[in-house]
Amino acid sequence: MIRKLLRRVFKRGEPTPHPVETIGPDQHGIRPEQVLPGARRTCETLQQAGFKAYVVGGAVRDLIAGITPKDYDIATDATPDQVRGLFRRSRIIGRRFQIVHVMQGAETLEVSTFRAAHDEDTLKDEHGRVLRDNVWGNMEEDAARRDFTVNALYYDPARGQVFDYHHGVRDLQRKTLRMIGDPRARYREDPVRMLRAVRLSAKLDLRMDPTVQAPIREMAELIENVPAARLFDEMLKLLFSGHAVECLRRLRADGLHHGLLPLLDVILEQPLGERFVMLALTDTDRRVQEGKRTSPSFLFATLLWHEVLANWETRKKNGQLPVPAMHAAMDEVLDTQGEKLAITRRIAGDIKDIWLLQPRFEKRGGRAPFRLVEQARFRAAWDFLRLRAESGEAPQELADWWAQFEQAGNAEREALLKPETAGPKKRRRRRSNAKNPADAAESAVPPAPTSEP
């Protein structure tokens, strides 16, 4: 411990590799009103308490690039306990990296303490991935710890200045993605950085520096050591970046698609499957760019649909009844996927609902259509059917019929119903224990249809 303390003391006296560049509003172009009010209040509270506090990382990068940030991170020299003491609505989370979630109204801000540089005492696994890291440092060390130069930017809302330690603003202007430090070492510390490199280069239309791109293919197997929950979070960011199609293209080009979605290669090798998946990703990109709502459940349902279909057909050929075969196929596919991606139980339930409603679209007679449109997942299931029709898997007439049926009134719906093609219904046997003929006649009448919950 004494040696470690001495190293920290003397190391902080070393010169910074890149002198900090202070950039004013005229150069970076960020206006105070563009910054989330909760982020400004959080920085103000910390600064009034005597601490340094800055909006940091991706939010600053996106604001300079003219993109509205999805979330905001705050960096400070206050420890997590000190931050927790300043905000009533806050909580400390994380083991590997302790951070504080500060709630400002409906907004949640991530507040992290400046971290020191890694050394030989940093806890790592056998592959070099950092397992625990709660040694605090100063702002210069914290900047050197960040992954890419475009992420090592600190914005002070009070003074309107951006502090740039590694020429991130210049790289952003030159459309170049550079790593801080040795890329190979940084990928070993956190293999998720390989995914971030792909996502950021696609999102910001950046060209990867050769030193950043070259090691990715040979080090891709390190992704296998990433905890499933972290990988799932990173995949959500990638798929909902608004540039999922381009990300997928770059993932395949850099050899990173293997192991991320274990069944992705199988899906993309199917003629109908590849068209279906690309339509789904294109549709998601469009919705993100238009600011519309998106659903992880819906997108993962599309990514895994053709694997479910193949599994289902195999089970039916082996003699299983259609409904039990469908449930078994869904469970097997989701279990296999869950070995790598931590799909939550809620998301898995929503995925199954979308899948299970697909066969029910075939029934357009009787009372079944009325019950189907009342289902909570009907709209998502119909969007799924629409993509199936666009890819050529389902009849376009079927998707159009259900769109018309949903919008129609009761009288119009009755007119749209198709004749039922099933055989004649079996007559119900009269109950032998009826007390009188009137009771017996009434018991022979089938009950009126009821709506599903």
Q: Which residues are catalytic?
A: 71, 73, 147
- CA–CA gap between residue 167 and residue 408 (Å, rounded): 59
Q: Are 430 and 443 in contact (CB under 8 A)?
A: yes
Q: Residue 361: name the closest of 322, 388, 326, 390 by CA.
A: 388
- CA–CA gap between residue 144 and residue 119 (Å, rounded): 13
Q: Are 349 and 306 in contact (CB under 8 A)?
A: no
The number of CA neighbours under 13 Å toward the Cβ of 82 is: 16
Return the structure tokens found at 234. Answer: 């990173």
